[in-house]
Structure 1
Amino acid sequence: MNSLVQFKNVVKEYDMGSKKLLAADNVTFSINEGEFVVILGPSGAGKSTVLNLLGGMDFATSGEIIINGRNIAGFDEKQLTNYRAENVGFVFQFYNLIPTLTALENVSLIRHVVKSPLDALEVLTSVGLEEHLRKFPTQLSGGEQQRVSIARAVCKNPTMLLCDEPTGALDSETGIVILSLLQKMSRERNKTVIIVTHNAALAQAADRVIRLKNGKVRDITVNEAPLAVSEVNW
């Protein structure tokens, strides 16, 4: 497998006035292309900091963040904006859909942002929303809205999908459906999917598990035979 992501001794400090908060403390790991990855840890472990750095939404204090051979830690704001647009699909806990647009229109917007988008109708069909294309967000359930959010991220045809607690606003049954869908995107579309979560059970379904604590990598596990999300003992 080709290495897609390399974090090398990454440090992120936040200036809190009289003291500094070390949110990422010498973080080092790698992720291969097409992997389904889970980043685990309690609140304050540094999970969201790592995701923000991966997504080009924040600057590292020091270290290297190499994505597809490019060190984005050295990028300026304009370069990071282009990097986010071309390489990263984001899926958050809350769906961030435009309420006055239909599901199809929300996803189709991506064609104005990226150079080589996928077909919005095809992607929405692949996430099981072919009967809900003309519905507005308020006419969709939480799980359906998150499917629209995933379709929008996938439609960018990004290098990787970054998911920050993507099932946090959903009931457990719907959450499993959404996680299965994300795993499917990794398996069938060879997308690198990286999920930040506090739910340790999901580790059973991951190709790679990165555990963080107090801003440090506690351990990294590579699963030779990850389970399907539907087979996980929740």
Structure 2
Amino acid sequence: MQVDLNSDMGEGFGPYRLCDDEAMMDVVTSANIACGFHAGDPDTMVRMVRLARERGVDVGAHPGLPDRQGFGRRELPFGPDELRQQMLYQLGALTAIARAEGVTVSHVSFHAAMGNMVNRDPALAAAMMQAIRTVDADLVVFGTADSVIERAAIEAGLKTLTLFLADRAYDAKGALVPRGQPGALVKDEASVRARVRRFLLDGTVTAIDGTVIPMRARSILVHSDTPGSLDLARTVRSEIEAAGGTVTPVSKLLR
């Protein structure tokens, strides 16, 4: 059993950091790097790319809305074409920085509000996927199973990697419980460990109301801004290995 372990990373800017990115890079196999809009900056991006290269971690673009104060979690009234250009701008920036460091960008993972907007609009999702394909047809798109994003990527001829969010609660329909609601974040070690073990052994997860739902995924995500994220990522990795699995970067997982 091979499982990717990914995290949204490089989400500080200037001297400010959300987590210990260096230590996190020793745990994960794929890094979704903020591209300068909701977080990140050129120096942070190149630092993350170099860390990933040194540790054999895959590099992915993590584009979000241009909203540092809201950390890209507030939906803003951009039109479809504006969102497309914002995504391309960020993907292009990381691609150039990575190429200068001898690194290939392997995947794209939308951040927060941008991802939510794309994921409920099939036309926007299709436009985004065609744009991604134009940049690099080998890019892998991260998304949840049976989502608008996954379907649009497949229709565009792109590879996809489905995600299980270890630190976020799901409702009975398989949707994420909105941030701000009680129980939306899962951050204690025992709960994360139990959720990951169930996912690995049964391919299911217990929803916030106790319903057991199927979870089709090949990668586990831990958000770097979740309190205690580094320890949670280590917990997830230890559970994968305890179940006889191997943590594997997306580029090798989907060969």
TM-score by length of 1: 0.34
Select the structure that is richer in strand.
Answer: 1
* Higher relative contact order, chain-length normalized (CA < 8 Å, sep 6+): 1
Select the structure that is richer in helix.
Answer: 2
